[in-house]
Structure 1
Amino acid sequence: MNELATEPTPPVTPGLGVHGDFSVWAPGAQRVRVRVDGTAHSMRSDARGWWYAQVEGAGPGSDYAYLLDEDPQPLPDPRSLWQPDGVHAPSRVYDHGSHVWADDDWTGRPLAGAVIYELHVGTFTPQGTLTAAADRLGHLVDLGVTHVELMPLNAFDGTHGWGYDGVLWSAVHQPYGGPDALKGFVEACHRRGLAVLLDVVYNHLGPSGAYLPRFGPYFSGENDWGPSLNLDGPGSDSVRQLVIDGALDWLRHYRLDGLRLDAVHALRDDRAVPILAELSAEVDALAAGLGRPLSLVAESDRNDPRTVLPLEADGLGMTAQWSDDLHHALHVALTGERHGYYADFDGPRVLAETLRRVFWHDGTPSAFRGRRHGARVDTSRVPASRFLGYLSNHDQVGNRARGDRMGEHLSPGLLTCGAAIVLCSPYTPMIFMGEEWGATTPWPFFASFTDPGLVEGVRRGRRREFAALGWAPEDIPDPMDPATRDGAVLDWSEPEHEPRRLVLDTYRALIALRRSEPELCDPRLDRFAVTASEDGRRLVLHRGSLRLVCNLGAAPARVELDAVPRELLLANGHPGVHGVTVDVPGEFFAVLRV
């Protein structure tokens, strides 16, 4: 088996097959062949479990797959860059060097001071492609966002889905347009001054086309979604390298500006240097080499400030992390919903305290979890820009039974109050596509698996999950019905009509104000204050010389400021100013200079 014990380090993924060179890690196999354009070729192995072959005449456009031992089923490459015929079919050799980039003047954008727009390619437009999404970038430029965060693009089974059921971590989903289309989208964004982040999922595989475990010990143990990635057991060096090389390839070869790392709390890692810290160091080195900033944004359920502390401060080095606590506090304050985990966020102090502290659960008891949760953020040292604030995201909309949005339930006044709190806070704001006009199109869970047994299993599981919460089966969308995806596509005619146009105009004005008033982007939490009424329905955010006054109640109210307002910068109504007293209508916000 060990014919080439001194074989050099395997080539990095971008060169895989381009010059007829193929390599794959399969440490438990006794025999491996690579089938290239229908012909099988023997491979040689080294002591580490890597197998190699040089195939004359192979190159870009060649289809290839691996045959393990005596199994007759050809398997796609775990490091595949291109799956033109789906995740069950052979891989195709792709040459990154063939693309001539047209954005060489792009120098990147840092995350601090950003406004992020979360976008799902498959429902952003009816066509559901990267090319069609690029045609809508003018809307994002006019809105004023700085970063586009693409939900996962890696290959999954079927045509439509959220993207979190991916099985090949480096291949761009072909129905979205494949690798060339992603490069075209990134170029189009950069030409318009927009940075691009990509959501990547390394904590699990989808249920269909997950051939990775056949090649080696890629998984060990379980997490909430199934097998957990082997990050610290035997063979984990090669597993970790697959993740890190893949992440760096997205940044280097697609010229992405950063990655959003899905559910990092599900990465079970007991090594002395966690993989997130290792990845952070590698990305910092790549950024220095490329001469442009690169960002890593973590989704973490731990409420652990070490996630965003620098490596030299014994942190994990992430640029930022999502802050679900702020979302939950806002959601309860605006909607009054108190079921499930929202129950922990019910109370007049919650929203103001969460705004001040970053996490509501920062070592405090969580009734939902039945234990204490989180750790306190040192607001004198950690900038708020390292935490994303949002009114909605794909999870908080899509994990509802109908996928219903706030725009279906709240008045324009409350929608714009919520937007003002997020966009005038010191946190890095994020907008989920369509939120900017209060979209009423639902965004429920949907998929398009091809295996009939899996299709029915997903249907039953979804019905069972929400039936336990009191939903009637007929009110739960069928996730496998193509109509469910079609109904989730944004209705681009909505913002042409009131009151959606008013909401969109307000979002644009708030983002423009944030850009023109540096005090609104100041991330220093020790210079940020929030005062609130006893019932928590009236809030004042103190941003240097600026004050955001919010009345979340339906009735008019009187708010006392700490200084006399000199200028009204933006409002969704008409306040009455009497010295330091401001009379405000219900469901109202105003940004004032004092």
Structure 2
Amino acid sequence: MRAGAQTEVWAPRATRVRLRRLGVDGSTLDEREMTSGPGGWWQVDAALADGERYGFVLGDGDQLRPDPRSRRQPDGVHAASAAFDETAFTWTDGAWTGRQLAGGLIYELHVGTFTPSGTFDAAIDRLSHLVELGVTHVELLPVNAFNGPWNWGYDGVLWYAVHEGYGGPRGYQRFVDAAHAHGLAVIQDVVYNHLGPSGNYLPEFGPYLRAGSRTTWGDSIDLDQTPVRDYIIDNALMWLRDRHVDGLRLDAVHALHDDSRTHILKQLAERADALSAHEGRPLTLIAESDLNDPTLILPREAGGYGLTAQWSDDWHHAVHVALTGETSGYYADFAAPDAIEKVTDGGFFHDGTFSSFRDHVHGAPIPHEVPAWRLVTFTQDHDQIGNRAAGDRLSATLSDDRLAVAAVLTLTAPGTPMLFMGEEWGASTPWQFFTSHPEPELGRATAEGRIAEFARMGWDAAVVPDPQDPKTFERSHLDWGELASSRHARLLDLYRRLAALRRELPELTEPGIREPSVDLVVPADEPERRAFRIDRGGLSILINLTSADVEFDVAGQVLLATREFASTTDGTILLSESAAIVRR
């Protein structure tokens, strides 16, 4: 709905539209005929008060539909919308000038499982923990309205509304305002490539979906329609402008099928840059992409889309294989001896090389002039944990010593590092795939689809938890009580010290993507039994994943070590499964 003195809705498929206003008890207070206007927009002279329940009735039936642009759904995605006045909130962040992504540290969290109560207000109480950790950007998994009480967030159907169970849009405003008071930027994960399976009434209003074109999750969005493109652009600007968000993580942009002259990602980047200039603060757009295509982050004047950054799954895969030795499915190629070297020096492993998992040549090289911080790198995230059969974190299988090595690799990488909630203390709680679809048939289909997906990876379907079981959701909550354990506290202290070094040592935020030099010191057939050295300016990051002591030909001041070490005249000796940062 576009509201003001007039209430408007885009509904080109409707032959008749009525605006219905309701009482809190659901009774009809008023129903008014809307007038058809140019471009499929329907209008009526009616201003809606903050909190007023309303919806639209299409055709000659009597079924109420929520507003496609609803900003609040107090009773769920199948019920009436509620008008929401964004300006009624008193912001206290007038002095906030934002944070650039370069040199930053991102922390990804899911509001519903970050704290026991799973609300924005409860998350506010944990912001000081993130500040002490050294985080600069908090990235929230999708919070838009979905059907059911809990979900990862990628089944959203009303992109403008905020899930009521988290605290709704007003709770969201409180969270962003509090984050800025703590000096933290907020990045919101948004999903523009598909709609969830329950509560999606948009096709009844207009051609939001492209017939005959599907993504992994359902029909693709019809980006040939200008009002649909506007629906996406306006939504992005709402988060950035009205809700003071500092950036957006754009989910699975490879599933955006757009053949228009100006790709919607380029259009979005242009609008975000214009808003950034007006607001006087950096606005960040980060793409999740399976394409390994540098076009996303190349400047627009060089033929790119001009997005700020993109995730590098290749970096994750190479480091995951080195830490775990796991080589099934898409991990197979990353057992190559030069995997760490390629993702450290060049960003992508598949940069025009053959991908055995995809069975075709994949990716393209990143031009030398693209700075390294434009790649977001991580050893754990919601996808790479939650899309495992048991949702097991690295802490479920790796020793404490290897978890410490993972921390060093993550926070000394040339990209912009990202942590997944609880990673910083080696949380023992899993992060599993959970849903709460009220429709039994949809719940069964979801579970069966997961099992089929895991079969391709060679994982045991017997350990797959039922996504619909409430215990799956409950198990995925962080246990903050673990911080009282000395084991968890030691790892947390290491992450804090590493984050501090990133702020203190310019070599660790040097933007040149090909500046690092990687030397495989101990080759081995098994990738988890190798040792290697990564030079960044005057620093050397030494990694020993072997089962024996290794002497590195690096002498100097040891700034940090995860285990005991020995310095010799010509080098540094590291114990098995340890890492060190040395100033040469």
Structure 1 length normalisation: TM-score? Answer: 0.94
Q: Which residue of 1 aligns with 2:321?
A: 332
1:502 aligns with 2:495: no
Alignment of 1:342-361 (within 5 A): 342-361=331-350
Go from structure 1 to structure 2 and tell me whether the alpha carbon gap of 1:310 and 1:133 turns closer, same or farther (over 3 Å shift).
same
Equivalent-residue separation in structure 2 for 1:52 and 1:159 (angstroms): 33
Of 582, 587, 591, the match for 2:572: 582
How does 1:419-438 map onto structure 2 within 5 Å?
419-438=407-426
Which of 446, 449, 467 aligns to 2:434? It is 446
Query: Secondary structure of the residue that 1:414 maps to in structure 2?
Result: helix
Q: How does 1:111-190 map to 2 (within 5 A)?
A: 111-190=101-180
How far residue 70 of structure 1 moved from its aligned partner, in angstroms, is 1.8
Question: What's the offset of the Cα at 1:512?
Answer: 0.6
- Greater displacement, 447-456 / 199-208: 447-456
Q: Which residue of 2 aligns with 1:555?
A: 548
Counterpart residue type for residue 9 of structure 2: V
Instruction: Return the match for 1:26 from 3, 7, 11.
Output: 11
The correspondence for 1:77, drawn from 67, 71, 87, is: 67
1:223 aligns to 2:215 (yes or no): yes
Alpha-carbon contact 2:563-2:578 (below 8 Å) kept: yes
CA contact (8 A) 2:521 2:533 kept: no
Change in Cα spacing, 1:162 to 1:506, as seen in structure 2 (3 Å) is same
The match for 1:368 is: 357
CA-CA distance at 1:348 after TM superposition: 2.1
Change (3 A) 1:288 1:471: closer
CA distance in 1, matches of 2:351, 2:440: 45
CA shift for structure 1 position 472: 5.9
Q: For each residue in 1:505-557, what CA deviation from the matched residue of structure 2 results, as whole angstroms up to 9, or x when unmatched?
A: 11111001111111111111232222222516222221221111111112111
Q: Structure 1: which 5+ residue stretches go unaligned?
A: 1-12
Corresponding position of 2:43? 52
Query: Which of 235, 244, 262 is the equivalent residue of 2:233?
Result: 244
**Which position in structure 2 is the counterpart of 1:9?**
none
Deviations 1:141-167 (A, max 9, x none): 111110000000000001111000000
* Structure 2 equivalent of residue 290 of structure 1: 279
**Cα 1:113/1:193, change in 2 over 3 Å:** same
User: Hey, what does 1:7 align to over in structure 2?
Assistant: none
Q: Any idea what SS the aligned residue of 1:48 has?
A: helix
CA distance in 1, matches of 2:447, 2:573: 52
Q: What's 2:383 paired with?
A: 395
- CA drift of 1:92 comes to 0.5
Structure 2: distance between partners of 1:208 and 1:418? 39
1:36 correspondence with 2:21: yes
Find the aligned partners of 1:463 and 1:527 in 2 and give their Cα distance: 42
Deviations 1:153-189 (A, max 9, x none): 0000011110000000110110010001011001111
Alignment match of 2:260 (pick from 271, 283, 291) = 271
Call closer, same or farther: CA 1:488–1:294 in 2, change over 3 Å.
same
1:418 Cα deviation (Å)? 1.6
- Shift in Å, 1:469: 5.8
- More divergent stretch after superposition (526-535 vs 123-132): 526-535
- Tell whether the 8 Å contact from 1:478 to 1:484 is kept in structure 2 after alignment: yes
Closer/same/farther in 2, CA of residues 468 and 312 from structure 1, 3 Å limit: closer
1:463: Cα distance to partner? 3.9
1:106-144 Cα shifts (integer Å, max 9, x gaps): 100001110000000010011011111111111101111
Distance of 1:116 and 1:551 partners within structure 2: 26
In structure 1, the residue corresponding to 2:480 is in which secondary structure? coil
Is residue 142–residue 189 contact of structure 2 (8 Å, CA) maintained in 1?
yes
Mapping of residues 437-476 of structure 1, within 5 Å: 437-466=425-454, 474-476=462-464
Q: Distance in 1 between matches of 2:44 and 2:247?
A: 34
* Structure 1 residue 409, shift from structure 2 partner: 0.7
* CA deviation string 1:52-107 (max 9, x = no partner): 11226x31111111111123211111111000100000110001111110111110
Distance 1:556 1:470 in 2: 34
Whether the aligned pair in 1 keeps the contact of 2:298 and 2:307 (CA below 8 Å) is yes
| Match status 1:281 vs 2:270 | yes
Instruction: Name the SS of the counterpart of 1:333 in structure 2.
Output: helix
Q: Distance in 1 between matches of 2:10 and 2:335?
A: 51
Question: C-alpha separation between the residues in 2 aligned to 1:359 and 1:351?
Answer: 10
Gaps of 5+ in 2: 23-27, 525-529
Q: Which moved more, 1:489-498 or 1:453-462?
A: 453-462
Moved more, 575-584 or 312-321: 575-584
Contact 1:348 1:534 in 2 (8 A): no
* 8 Å contact from structure 1 (residues 352, 539) kept in 2: no
Partners of 1:100 and 1:196 in 2: how far apart?
A: 18
1:177-204 deviation line (CA, Å, top 9, x unaligned): 0001011001111111000000000000
Deviations 1:24-43 (A, max 9, x none): 11112211111112222100
Measured on the aligned residues, the alpha-carbon RMSD in Å equals 1.4
Q: Do residues 485 (structure 1) and 478 (structure 2) align? A: no
- Are the counterparts in 1 of residues 111 and 120 from structure 2 also a CA contact under 8 Å? yes
Aligned mates of 1:474, 1:373 — CA distance in 2:
32
Task: Count residues in correspondence.
Answer: 571
Cα distance in structure 1, aligned partners of 2:153 and 2:244? 21
8 Å contact from structure 2 (residues 385, 431) kept in 1: yes
- Taking only the aligned residue pairs, the percentage that are identical comes to 50
Q: C-alpha offsets along residues 263-288 of structure 1, whole Å, 9 cap, x if unaligned? A: 00000000011000000000000000
Q: Is the 8 A contact 2:72 2:162 kept in 1?
A: yes
- Alpha carbons 2:328, 2:458 under 8 Å: kept: no
Aligned to 1:259: 248
- Within 2, Cα distance between the matches of 1:542 and 1:468? 37
For 1:268 and 1:463, the matched residues in 2 are separated by 27
| 1:378-430 Cα shifts (integer Å, max 9, x gaps) | 23x01000001100110000001110000111112111112212211221000
Moved more, 222-231 or 274-283: 222-231
1:464: Cα distance to partner? 4.4
Q: Tell me by how many angstroms 1:48 deviates.
A: 0.7
Asked whether the 8 Å contact 1:538–1:559 carries over to 2, the reply is: no
Identify the residue that residue 191 of structure 2 maps to in structure 1: 201
Name the SS of the counterpart of 1:53 in structure 2. strand
SS in 1 for 2:254: helix
Task: Point out 4+ residue stretches in structure 1 off by more than 6 angstroms.
Answer: none
Q: Name the TM-score, length of structure 2 as normaliser.
A: 0.95
Asked if the contact 1:20/1:59 (under 8 Å) is kept, the reply is no
Counterpart position of 2:25: none
Match of 2:527 in 1: none
Which one is further off, 309-318 or 571-580? Answer: 571-580
Query: Within 2, Cα distance between the matches of 1:477 and 1:498?
Result: 30
Cα contact 2:522–2:532 (8 A) shared by 1: no
Q: Is the 8 A contact 1:426 1:520 kept in 2?
A: yes
* Code of the aligned partner of 1:543: R
Distance, in Å, in 1 between the alignment partners of 2:256 and 2:461 is 34
Is this contact kept in 2: 1:262–1:299, CA < 8 A?
A: yes
After superposition, the Cα gap between the structure-2 partners of 1:550 and 1:470, relative to the gap in structure 1 and judged at 3 Å, is closer
